Chain A
């Protein structure tokens, strides 16, 4: 999912289901079993290993983007169609683009220590 974004990074150490894992009214992580429970995704670039769980994750991503409480970008170790579909529909309905990049394992590991990242339209990611 092409696009560009820059912002502070939030590393989600385990896969997350946007539905049931994220409060769609606040953008706060509510999955009680998730290491980042209580963190806000608003305006941040999410670095996460993979998606999991509910098909309704698409709706929740579209809704938080519509409401202006979505992530600025998403960087994943393994692609997740459910999140991509949510991003596609946000673009169709609201003209809001959130880039979703998939990176190799080494890049993923390097990014885990970054505080902020820039996602460029050509698909490259730089830290800082």
Chain B
């Protein structure tokens, strides 16, 4: 069945809503055709990734929309941008990038988007409910929306996000539909030693492992603990979406569409089953580490943006100790989380320890970090994947405990005991 547009869609396409809405509807409907959608569906919200400056095209599209009078018709959050407007002094890039980055932020705010500037809109208020259709871009947000919230979005890119927000419509295809949300690939973690499963780092490493293997299929993890906290599911999804094209996963006993393995599979047999071993996780850890040097230059946490709970862990582990004078420790987060932790008194304590909090953006997408002499350490599989290419640094992946101990001591310290003979 070819795509059928309803009367409202057709009216927008014909220009009844102005030239900007017509352009947005062309982008949505042409994407729908490629996705083999039979019709479009109303969305209740959008998350806009397009506000990061990636050259002139990033500016030309929203400018065309703005000149055509575009306004979003659903609540729309904004992803990270190129600048930290709360701490503008951190930006070390050129003036052109700064001015274009700021212009983009203004153009999207001008179309009615909320200036959230976070890659973790699910840590904001007004999260979508299970079953709601949304149009989210930003790979980690997409996988979180589908997997942890049970909302429905396909794996959208820049430009489609704002086009969906302006038209209020998305293609009814892909992960918007039940049949594509069914798990087909099982990852059984019951053979992984208990001492590894209890590490926070288990989740990003498992996500990296899954992302490398799963392609566009939906995986289900079985044999792990029940009620896994959200920030660990977030780390799993972000890692899988960076290493692969993961847009949705199930985790039996922890994600809403997987109360049981059978529920995640919708009663059908799995196409593939992978038994995950300690060696698989060790390999993932090695792939996310490009240097064995112990010389530490910088530590970056908060990719995706840290939640209040994750800051709480840092405050506990750091315990008011000072970051070593030769090391910078950055933590990326969104404005709303930064406000919340300031009210709790944590920002003052972290800053007194020498921590630099970064908002609105992230240390791996814009020039913020001072020249790094030594290895960059992170608890984020996503940061570890992209930073060598984006920043030209060597990276070492570690748990949040290892990252903070290393930042305090001024050299990379890793607790290899748990990995020996694992």
A79 and B34: CB pair below 8 A?
yes
For B27, give its contact among A55, A63, A85 (CB under 8 Å). Answer: A85
Write out the residue numbers on chain A whose beta carbons fall within 8 Å of the beta carbon of B390.
Answer: 20, 30
CB contact under 8 A between A85 and B244, given known A20-B386, A53-B139, A67-B55:
no
- CB pair A20–B27 under 8 Å, yes or no, is no
| In the assembled complex, A84 has its CB within 8 A of some CB on chain B | yes
Q: With A15-B244, A31-B389, A55-B138 in contact, is A86–B157 under 8 Å at CB?
A: yes
B122 contacts partner chain A, Cβ-Cβ < 8 Å: no
Q: Which residues of A sit under 8 angstroms from B242, Cβ to Cβ?
A: 17, 52-54
- A24 at the binding interface (Cβ < 8 Å): yes
Smallest CB separation, B103 vs chain A (Å): 15
Among A25, A51, A66, A88, the residue within 8 A (CB) of B31 is: A88
Q: Is the CB–CB distance between A85 and B54 below 8 Å?
A: no
A71 to chain B, nearest CB (A): 15
User: In B40-60, which residues have CB < 8 Å from any A CB?
Assistant: 49-50, 52, 54-58, 60
Find chain A residues with CB under 8 A from B56 CB: 63, 66-67
Contact B245 A59 (CB under 8 A): no
In the complex, how many angstroms separate the beta carbon of B231 from the nearest chain A beta carbon? 21
Q: How many residues of A contact B (CB 8 A)?
A: 43
Nearest B residue to A60 via CB reads B54
Q: Could you tell me if A85 and B156 are in contact, using CB atoms closer than 8 angstroms? A: yes
Q: Kindly specify which of B158-166, B194-202, B264-272 makes contact with the partner chain.
A: B158-166
Selected contact of A59 from candidates B57, B156, B241, CB within 8 Å: B57
Whether the Cβ atoms of B157 and A82 lie closer than 8 Å is yes
Structural contact, A85 and B31, CB atoms closer than 8 A: yes
In the complex, the number of residue pairs spanning A and B with C-beta atoms less than 8 Å apart equals 131
Known: A32-B389, A85-B31, A88-B30. A66 touches B57 (CB 8 A): yes
Task: Check if A89 is an interface residue, CB within 8 A of chain B.
Answer: yes
Which residues from 15 to 68 on chain A have a C-beta closer than 8 Å to any C-beta of chain B? 15, 17, 19-21, 24-25, 30-33, 37, 50-60, 62-63, 65-67
Write out, one digit per residue, whether chain B residues 74-118 have a CB within 8 A of any chain A CB (1) or not (0): 000000000000000000000000000000000000000000000
Which of A1, A24, A50, A78 touches B55 (beta carbons < 8 Å)? Answer: A24
**A122 adjacent to chain B (CB < 8 Å):** no
**Contact between B244 and A54 (Cβ–Cβ < 8 Å)?**
no
Cβ contact of B243, chosen from A32, A52, A59, cutoff 8 A: A52
A52 nearest CB across to chain B (Å): 4
Interface: B124 (CB within 8 A): no
A-B contact pairs, 10 of them (CB 8 A): A20-B390, A56-B158, A57-B157, A58-B158, A58-B160, A59-B50, A80-B245, A81-B157, A88-B159, A93-B57
The 3 closest A-B pairs by CB, nearest first: A58-B157, A82-B157, A63-B55
